[in-house]
Structure formats: C-alpha cells, structure tokens
C-alpha cells in the first residue's frame, strides 16, 4: 500500500513539474496584476470606478475586488479576460504603464528611455559613475564606425548586452538610471572614450582582457 502511495506521489510530482516547466515564461514585461501596489494600481482603480466596473475604495492595492472589476472590464470590451492589466488592457483603460518621469511621446525621450532601461538592466546598484559609464559606452559606439549608428541599433545589436539577452532591460528604470542616461547624452563620459566593458570576475573571453582599460569602478572594467 505504501509503495503504491509512493509511486502515485512520484507520478503526481513529475506531472505537475513538467506542466509548470513547459508553461513557464521568463516575463519581465510591464504588467499590473493581483498583488501589485502603487500609483499605477490607483490609476486603474480610479478609471474602473469612473466607468462603474469597480465600486470599492481606491486603495492602491490590487486585490480580489480590483481583479473582479478588471475581468468585467475585459469581458465587456472584448479583451482576453485574465484579470491582468498588460499593454492592451492599459491602452483600453487609457493609461500608460511606463510610469516614471518620462513621457515616451516627446522628442528624444524614447532614446533617453531606451538608454535608461539598458543602464538599469546592466548596472543598477553600481556607483553613479558606473551607471553613466555604461551609457557613455553606448554613445561612444554610436560614434564609432565599427558599431551601429543609432542608440537603439547599438543597444539591440545581437549578443552585445546581457541585459538585452535575458530580458532585464524590460524592468522599469529608477530615477538614477534616467538621470545617468541624460548625463551620458549630455556629454559626461567617465570612461575616456571606452567601447567595451566587462565584469572581471565573470568574463570568460580572453580577447576582452587584451583591450586597454580606461576605468575600473564597481563591478566593471571599461576598455577601449
């Protein structure tokens, strides 16, 4: 009897495990869902209340009532009723999920924001100079004939930045990263013209170590 029980639990765990692995996605996309808190949730609650889908209090916390209201809204508007506010639902609500002090519509701001997201993905937690330095490397590459000619071209060049490959670039940047992006675009270059950087503790390439180092700060060496 016990043996059979053992077999059953083993099978059960295996089945559940496979199911979870198969459906797992590494998602860093901007979504607001059950458990989220903050200004964005309040904005969503206000809108839903305005239109009669939500009659609780605007608390800024996404719980059962907010979830129900979102599902109702999504059903009524022909959206996928999953109770999660992603890009399409947010657009239907008339709010933007980007948050922060950047409005992506105005001139230059999308470049600032792309740079800020890269800096955040690559160097958050680093000393401020280290963050500006990452931005400066991107701008030096734009100027160099050996790399793409635009900020987005440099950032999204295949294999260039880990934060792009693993999705960390999609995290919302903090105020520090946005300021670092603006400073880098305004000409602050703590790297003296560097085109490359790497983490000396983890870099496996022999080639990168042959480049002349111009700045060493925090976790990174910056090199020409």
Partner 1 sequence: MQKKHHMLLYTFLSLALVAAIGTAVYQGQRAARVSRTLEDVYYSAVLESISQLQSMEVKMNKLLVSGTPQTGVTLLSDLSRQAWEVQNNLTILPLSHSAMEPTVKFASQVGDYTNALVLKVANGSPLNDTDIQQINQLLTNCVLLSGQLQAAQQQMIAQSMSYTADNSVFYQDMSAQTRPLEQVGDKDKGIDYPTLIYDGAFSDARHMGPPQGLPQGDVTKEQALEIAKAFVGPERVTNVQEGAAIQGSIPAWGVTVAIPDDTLNVEVTKQGGKILWMMPERAEFTQTLSVDQCKEKGKAFLSNRGFGEMVESYYQVYNGLAVINYAAVQDQVLLYPDLVKVQVRMDNGDIVGFEGNNYWMNHRQRELEKPKITEAEAKDMVSSRLEILQTRLCVIPYRGTEKLCYEFTSTWDNSQYLVYIDALTGEELDILKVIESEAGPLAA
Report the interface residues with partner 1, using CB under 8 A. 4, 8, 11-12, 14-16, 18-19, 21-23, 102-103, 106-109, 112, 127-129, 132, 145-149, 153, 157-160, 165, 175-176, 178-179, 182-183, 186-194, 196, 198, 203-208, 212-217, 224
Query: Is the Cβ of residue 57 or residue 146 nearer to partner 1 in the bound state?
Result: 146
Per-residue tokens: 32: 């607001």
194 Cβ partners below 8 Å, 6+ apart?
Answer: 133, 136, 137, 140, 214, 215, 222, 223, 224
* Least distance in angstroms from the C-beta of 218 to partner 1: 9
Neighbours of 145 (CB within 10 A): 5
Strands of 33-93 (E only): list them: none
Query: Is the Cβ of residue 120 or residue 214 nearer to partner 1 in the bound state?
Result: 214
- What is the rounded CA–CA span in Å between residue 72 and residue 81? 8
Q: Chain centroid to CA 199: how far?
A: 21
Query: Is the Cβ of residue 94 or residue 187 nearer to partner 1 in the bound state?
Result: 187
Query: Is the Cβ of residue 57 or residue 204 nearer to partner 1 in the bound state?
Result: 204
- What is the rounded CA–CA span in Å between residue 51 and residue 28? 30
């Amino acid at each position: 009897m016990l043996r059979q029980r053992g077999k059953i639990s083993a099978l059960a765990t295996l089945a559940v495990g496979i199911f979870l692995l198969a459906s797992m996605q590494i998602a860093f996309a901007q979504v607001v869902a059950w458990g989220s808190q903050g200004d964005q949730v309040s904005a969503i609650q206000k809108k839903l209340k305005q239109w009669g889908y939500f009659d609780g209090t605007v608390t800024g916390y996404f719980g059962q009532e907010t979830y129900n209201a979102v599902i109702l809204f999504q059903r009524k508007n022909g959206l996928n009723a999953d109770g999660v506010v992603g890009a399409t639902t947010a657009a239907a609500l008339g709010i933007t999920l980007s948050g922060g002090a950047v409005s992506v519509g105005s001139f230059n701001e999308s470049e600032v924001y792309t740079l800020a997201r890269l800096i955040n993905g690559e160097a958050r937690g680093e000393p401020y100079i280290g963050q500006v330095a990452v931005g400066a490397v991107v701008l030096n590459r734009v100027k160099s004939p050996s790399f793409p000619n635009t900020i987005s071209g440099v950032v999204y060049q295949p294999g260039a930045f880990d934060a792009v490959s693993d999705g960390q670039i999609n995290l919302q940047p903090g105020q520090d990263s946005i300021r670092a992006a603006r400073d880098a675009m305004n000409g602050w270059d703590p790297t003296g013209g560097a085109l490359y950087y790497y983490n000396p503790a983890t870099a496996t390439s022999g080639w990168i170590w042959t480049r002349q180092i111009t700045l060493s700060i925090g976790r990174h060496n910056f090199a020409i």
